[in-house]
Amino acid sequence: MLDLKRSSGVALAIVLGLLLLLSINVISNNVLRTLRFDLTGNKQYTLNEGTLSVLRKLDEPVRLQFFFSENLASSFPQYRVYGQRVRDLLTEYELRSGGKLQLKFVNPEPFTEDEDDAVALGITGVSTETGDKLYFGLAGTNSIDGRETIPFFSIEREPYLEFDLTSLIYELSRGDKPVLGILSTIPLEFGVGGPMAAAQGRAQPYVIYDQLLTGFEVENLDQDLTVIPEGIETLMLVHPTGLSSQTLYAIDQFVLRGGHALIFVDPLSEMVQAPSPMGMPTPSGPPNFSSLDPLFDNWGITYSSQDVVADLDRALRVQSGAGGGQIVDYIVWLGIQNQDLDALDLVTAELQALQLGSVGALFKKDGAATTFAPLIMSSANSSLIDRSDVDMGFNPNDLILDFRPSPDTYVIAARVSGSATTAYPEGRPEEDVVSEADPDGDSEAEDASPDAEVPHLSESQGPINVIVVADTDILDDRFWINIQDFLGQRMLIPTADNGTFVVNAVENLMGSSDLISLRSRGRDFRPLTAIENLRRQANARFLERENRLQQELAATEQKLTELQSQSVEAEPGAELSTTIISAEEEQELERFTQRYVEIRKELREVQRDLRRDIEDLQNVVRFANIGLMPIIIGVFAIVLALSRRNNRRKARRRGA
């Protein structure tokens, strides 16, 4: 009887345990589903304040349909896991929206109405081995029939998931887009090849231009304008070359009236040259250098289009045509890191890396009344070189050998604000503005003239707000984006934050900041700077010794040429000649050969030492990441066990 009661008690305990476990699962699945602890370094799994701000500002309902083929995805673990993450994140969005976000999950089975709806809304299906299509996309609509879609959630863009979702909701929630005026001598809207490529059907706009089109209403401005059109809130000026004084005056008055400007100048623009690492000039392109004098002077900026920043610590690794296509440090192409960026300015605060080409330097003018706040800086191991030294056909290694660092860092981009005066105190400059299409100046040309009723400003009506970047190549696709074809569409995988910086700057000047923090947190860039600096130092030593060897080789080749020119005929009438070398010359040649072998040995030793030092440092890093923590925990456990053992012994002694 006792055994029966005991057995019944055990069975009851098991049943109660199962019920408790089931209850915990049900409660956690329904109540605690969105509760999570985010231990990642950049809070990748926590909704950003920018997302919460967008959700709070929703005035009308936004409907989202998440199409995910769950059954087919079960055969693809990566998509199954990623799909669950998207689903969880969308659920979090819905919970935080205060009922303004209406979410629907759809599992589109083959040959069903759900699949037809997915196709109609622009969701792209990926064919599987069975012939069925896997759908994994998002469609959103608003109350005025606006529609935005993410055709397929590419795994490569997983770091940008929250930005992509919030951008979709943001586009559906806002009304008219703000107007961005672009005045550029570089054809951003056509891409490499310009209008000629467009005429041949090969035009492909620069990626940054497409991104600006997504967020803003872009108005491309003529280079000979005499007034900035009404409605433009922010002006983006790219590579200003050959602008008339009338156009400069229009920009001057626009800024003084409170218009904001994002300006890109360059001492050596790679964008106006053919897309090759060494740069071949484009015959019909603009000059490869630009400035904005005299406006810079009145805004408190000093800049020379003759100077290029060389930075050994930030040099990008490129394949050089010189030296047999070897990989070298190109000290005028810079890989800017987060410590080189202003951590307090919203535009650059969360950026990780920028990649720039042949940049200039900006300085605050002595006695300027404006505030000059650096946004992008060079490292301390940098200097200024003449742009003529960076020319077609040069050897990048020569730049390193001639490099002499200065004690200063250089400002590559800056925000200028405060009170400013006009560069044209006498008013609009006298200049005939006659278009090539209308040389006689008919009524249409008169209509294009500036409005005489617009008053001239001698000083700014309030603080100006201008961001100046001494580089145009930050806009070039080659420097920051990897473009891949995915399901017939261009998939953009950023390798640097160039596009983020530009769009952040425009949004900030427009007065919007909701998406800035989101856009800046996608990439997680943490280079091993100690290893990279060690490699650069050893490489510099290697180049110095290699250069000495090349000089000795050249001198010896000249000596051998001289010896060959002194050859005499072995006998009269002989067709062949024999070179006579004295014993001293033979000894000299032998000495050089021996020295040549010694230097080659030194070069191998430098390379071997370089590899050894880097491997030792890498081993230390691996040990710290993999082995150190378990050892610390083990030591702590041993110390804790010994401490408890001693405490028990002391307790027994006291009890005795």
pLDDT digits (tens, 9 = 90+) for 486-543: 666 677 788 899 998 999 999 889 876 666 656 555 555 555 565 566 566 666 666 6
Q: Which residues pair with 468 in a beta bridge?
A: 263, 414
Could you tell me which of 550, 518, 628, 534 has the C-alpha nearest to residue 42? 518
d(CA 529, CA 314) in angstroms, rounded, equals 10
Does a structural domain hold residue 157? yes
Does a structural domain hold residue 399? no
Residue 235 and residue 191 in one domain: yes
Looking at per-residue pLDDT, the higher value among 233 and 373 belongs to 373
Residue 96 and residue 155 in one domain: yes
Which pLDDT score, from 0 to 100, does residue 610 have? Answer: 59
Instruction: Tell me how far apart the terminal alpha carbons of the chain are, to the nearest angstrom.
Output: 45
Residue 259 and residue 151 in one domain: no
DSSP for 260-288 reads EEEEE--SS-STTB-SSTT--B-TTSPPS
At residue 194, does pLDDT exceed 90? no
Average pLDDT estimate for 393-397: 71
pLDDT digits (tens, 9 = 90+) for 17-74: 777 777 776 666 555 554 555 555 555 557 888 888 889 888 889 999 999 999 888 8
d(CA 458, CA 426) in angstroms, rounded, equals 9
pLDDT digits (tens, 9 = 90+) for 344-394: 888 898 888 999 999 999 999 999 999 999 999 999 999 999 988 886 556
Q: How many domains does the chain have?
A: 3
Average pLDDT estimate for 579-597: 65
Domain holding 63: CATH number? 3.40.30.10
8 A C-beta contact, residue 469 and residue 376: yes
Could you tell me which of 312, 228, 281 has the C-alpha nearest to residue 536? 312
What pLDDT band is residue 447 in, cutting at 50, 70 and 90?
very low
Residue after which a domain boundary falls, among 126, 151, 170: 170
Residue 373 and residue 489 in one domain: yes
| Two tokens, residue 183 | 């005045």
8 A C-beta contact, residue 503 and residue 475: no
As a whole-number percent, the residues of the chain with pLDDT over 70 amount to 67
Q: What element of type H or E holds 310? A: strand 307-311
Which pLDDT score, from 0 to 100, does residue 50 have? Answer: 80
Which pLDDT score, from 0 to 100, does residue 390 have? Answer: 84
**Domain span holding position 599:** 531-564+585-655
| Two tokens, residue 14 | 């098991």
Residue 564 makes CB contacts below 8 A (sequence gap 6+) with 579
Q: Average pLDDT, whole number, for the chain?
A: 79
What pLDDT band is residue 263 in, cutting at 50, 70 and 90?
very high
Does a structural domain hold residue 131? yes
Residue after which a domain boundary falls, among 140, 170, 200: 170
Residue 510 and residue 551 in one domain: no
Does a structural domain hold residue 41? no
Residues in the chain, overall count: 656
Residue after which a domain boundary falls, among 152, 170, 188: 170
8 A C-beta contact, residue 334 and residue 311: yes
Q: Which backbone phi and psi does 464 adopt, to 5 degrees?
A: -75, 160
Residue 138 makes CB contacts below 8 A (sequence gap 6+) with 64, 65, 66, 67, 86, 90, 123, 149, 150, 153, 165, 168
Which pLDDT score, from 0 to 100, does residue 46 have? Answer: 72
Q: The pTM is what?
A: 0.66
| Two tokens, residue 511 | 């007065």
What pLDDT band is residue 123 in, cutting at 50, 70 and 90?
very high
Does a structural domain hold residue 124? yes
99: left (phi over 0), alpha (psi -120 to 50) or beta: left
Residue 497 and residue 538 in one domain: no
Which pLDDT score, from 0 to 100, does residue 434 have? Answer: 40
Q: Are strands 382-386 and 481-486 parallel, antiparallel or unpaired?
A: unpaired
Residue 474 and residue 540 in one domain: no
Q: By CB neighbour count within 10 A (0-12 exposed, 13-18 middle, 19+ buried), where does 426 fall?
A: exposed
d(CA 649, CA 646) in angstroms, rounded, equals 5
CB atoms within 10 A of CB 263: 26
> Helix (H, G, I), strand (E, B), or coil: what is residue 604?
helix
At residue 466, does pLDDT exceed 90? yes
Average pLDDT estimate for 619-639: 74
As a whole-number percent, the residues of the chain with pLDDT over 90 amount to 36
d(CA 148, CA 165) in angstroms, rounded, equals 10
Instruction: Output the CA torsion sign for 620, 622, 625, 630.
Output: negative
Does a structural domain hold residue 86? yes
Does a structural domain hold residue 153? yes
Cis? peptide before 527, omega within 30° of 0: no
Residue 15 makes CB contacts below 8 A (sequence gap 6+) with none
Residue 82 makes CB contacts below 8 A (sequence gap 6+) with 153, 155, 158
Which pLDDT score, from 0 to 100, does residue 596 have? Answer: 64
Looking at per-residue pLDDT, the higher value among 26 and 292 belongs to 292
Residue 559 and residue 606 in one domain: yes
Cα–Cα distance list, 268 to 272, 472, 624 (Å): 9, 9, 43
What pLDDT band is residue 333 in, cutting at 50, 70 and 90?
very high
Q: Which backbone phi and psi does 315 adopt, to 5 degrees?
A: -65, 135
Residue 68 and residue 164 in one domain: yes
Does a structural domain hold residue 180? yes
- The CA dihedral of 450, 452, 456, 462, to the nearest 10 degrees, is -70
Residue 559 and residue 642 in one domain: yes
Residue 263 and residue 371 in one domain: yes
Residue 116 and residue 245 in one domain: no
pLDDT digits (tens, 9 = 90+) for 537-565: 666 666 666 666 666 656 665 665 555 55
d(CA 488, CA 154) in angstroms, rounded, equals 13
DSSP letter assigned to residue 274: -
